[in-house]
Amino acid sequence: MQNESNDLSNVDKDSSTWRTFLKLSPYIIEHKFLLFLSIILLVLSAFADTSLIAILKPLLDKGFAKGDQNFLLMAPIYIFGLVFLRGVANYGYSVFLSLISGKIVMKMRQKLFNHFVDSSVSYYDKNSTGRLLSRITYDTDQVAASSSDALIIIIRESAFICGLFYTMFYNSWQLSLSLLIITPIVIGLISFVSIKFRKLAKAMQNSMGNLTMSVEQMLKGHREIIVFGAQDEESKNFEKVSNKFRRDGMRLVSVSALSTPIVQLVISFGIAFVLLMASNPDLNITPGEFTVVFSSLVALMQPIKSLTSVNAGFQKGMAACQTLFAILEQPIEQDNGKITIERVKGNIEFRNVTFNYESRKEPALKDISFSVPAGKTIALVGRSGSGKTTITNLLTRFYDISQGEILIDNLNIENLSLSSLRDQIALVSQNVHLFNDTIANNITYGRIGEYSQSQIEEAAKKANAYDFIMQFENQFDTRVGESGVLLSGGQRQRLAIARALLRDNPILILDEATSALDTESERAIQNALESLQKGRTSIVIAHRLSTIEKADEILVIDNGRILEQGTHEKLLNNKSVYYSLYTGNKLQ
Ligand code: ADP
Ligand code: MG
Mean pLDDT of 141-161: 85
| Residue 445 to residue 436: CA distance in whole angstroms | 11
Report whether pLDDT(200) > 60. yes
Report whether pLDDT(171) > 80. yes
pLDDT of residue 69: 81
DSSP E strands in 12-134: the ranges are none
How far apart are the CA of 572 and the centre of ligand 1, in A?
A: 27
φ/ψ bin of 557: left (φ > 0), alpha (ψ from -120 to 50), beta (otherwise)? beta
How far apart are the CA of 364 and the centre of ligand 1, in A?
A: 7
pLDDT of residue 13: 58
Does residue 543 line the site of ligand 1, with CB under 6 A?
no
| Residue 381 to residue 9: CA distance in whole angstroms | 57
How far apart are the CA of 290 and the centre of ligand 2, in A?
A: 84
Mean pLDDT of 404-427: 87
| Residue 324 to residue 116: CA distance in whole angstroms | 12
Range list of H helices, 119-139: 121-126, 129-134
Q: What residue owns the CA closest to ligand 1's atom 13?
A: 385
Highest mean pLDDT among 10-19, 360-369, 536-545, 570-579: 360-369
Q: What residue owns the CA closest to ligand 1's atom 26?
A: 357
Edge-to-edge strand list for the sheet holding 348-355: 365-372, 348-355, 403-408, 411-412
Give the position, in ligand 1's atom list, of the atom nearest the Cα of 391: 6
Does residue 515 line the site of ligand 1, with CB under 6 A?
no
**CA-based nearest residue to 422, from 335, 542, 332:** 335
Instruction: Name the band, by pLDDT with cuts 50, 70 and 90, for residue 15.
Output: low
Percentage of the chain exceeding pLDDT 90: 9
| Residue 363 to residue 357: CA distance in whole angstroms | 7
pLDDT of residue 12: 56
Instruction: Name the band, by pLDDT with cuts 50, 70 and 90, for residue 2.
Output: very low
How far apart are the CA of 543 and the centre of ligand 1, in A?
A: 16
pLDDT digits (tens, 9 = 90+) for 527-569: 777 777 888 899 988 777 666 878 888 888 888 888 888 888 7
CA distances from 75 to 59, 80, 145, 371, 576 (A): 7, 8, 38, 94, 105
Report whether pLDDT(95) > 90. yes
Does residue 387 line the site of ligand 1, with CB under 6 A?
yes
pLDDT of residue 337: 78
How far apart are the CA of 122 and the centre of ligand 2, in A?
A: 16
Task: Judge contact between 367 and 527, C-beta under 8 A.
Answer: no
pLDDT of residue 7: 42
Q: What residue owns the CA closest to ligand 1's atom 7?
A: 389
Mean pLDDT of 23-52: 90
Residues 6+ apart with CB under 8 A from 363: 354, 355, 356, 560
Q: Which residue has the higher pLDDT, 198 or 12?
A: 198
pLDDT of residue 9: 47
CA distances from 306 to 14, 75, 98 (A): 19, 31, 20
pLDDT digits (tens, 9 = 90+) for 55-94: 888 888 887 777 778 878 888 888 899 999 999 999 999 9
Q: Which residue has the higher pLDDT, 422 or 489?
A: 422
Q: Which phi and psi (to 5°) does residue 403 adopt?
A: -130, 140
Report whether pLDDT(357) > 80. yes
Mean pLDDT of 151-164: 88
Q: Which phi and psi (to 5°) does residue 539 adopt?
A: -115, 115
Q: What residue owns the CA closest to ligand 1's atom 23?
A: 125
Give the position, in ligand 1's atom list, of the atom nearest the Cα of 380: 3
Range list of H helices, 444-533: 453-462, 466-471, 489-503, 519-533
How far apart are the CA of 263 and the centre of ligand 1, in A?
A: 74
| Residue 144 to residue 156: CA distance in whole angstroms | 18
Q: Which residue has the higher pLDDT, 19 or 520?
A: 19
How far apart are the CA of 166 and the centre of ligand 2, in A?
A: 75
The continuous run of DSSP H or E covering 508 comes out as: strand 507-511
Q: State the virtual CA torsion across 32, 35, 37, 41 in degrees, nearest 10.
A: -160
| Residue 398 to residue 120: CA distance in whole angstroms | 7
Instruction: Name the band, by pLDDT with cuts 50, 70 and 90, for residue 239.
Output: very high
Give the position, in ligand 1's atom list, of the atom nearest the Cα of 386: 3
Q: What value does the mean pLDDT of the chain take?
A: 82
Mean pLDDT of 317-335: 84
Q: What residue owns the CA closest to ligand 1's atom 16?
A: 385
pLDDT of residue 41: 93
Report whether pLDDT(402) > 80. yes
Give the position, in ligand 1's atom list, of the atom nearest the Cα of 511: 2
pLDDT of residue 4: 37
pLDDT of residue 88: 95
How far apart are the CA of 340 and the centre of ligand 2, in A?
A: 29
Say which ligand is closest to the CA of 398.
1
Report whether pLDDT(493) > 90. no
How far apart are the CA of 123 and the centre of ligand 2, in A?
A: 19
pLDDT digits (tens, 9 = 90+) for 434-483: 888 888 888 888 777 778 888 888 888 877 888 888 888 888 888 877 66
Paired strand residues for 350: 370, 406
Give, for ligand 1, the residue of 359, 386, 400, 563 to mutate: max count of ligand atoms closer than 8 Å to Cβ: 386
DSSP E strands in 360-424: the ranges are 365-372, 377-381, 403-408, 411-412
Percentage of the chain exceeding pLDDT 70: 94
Backbone CA torsion sign across 109, 115, 118, 119:
negative
Give, for ligand 1, the residue of 122, 360, 365 to mutate: max count of ligand atoms closer than 8 Å to Cβ: 360
In terms of DSSP bridges, do strands 411-412 and 425-428 run parallel, antiparallel, or are they unpaired? unpaired
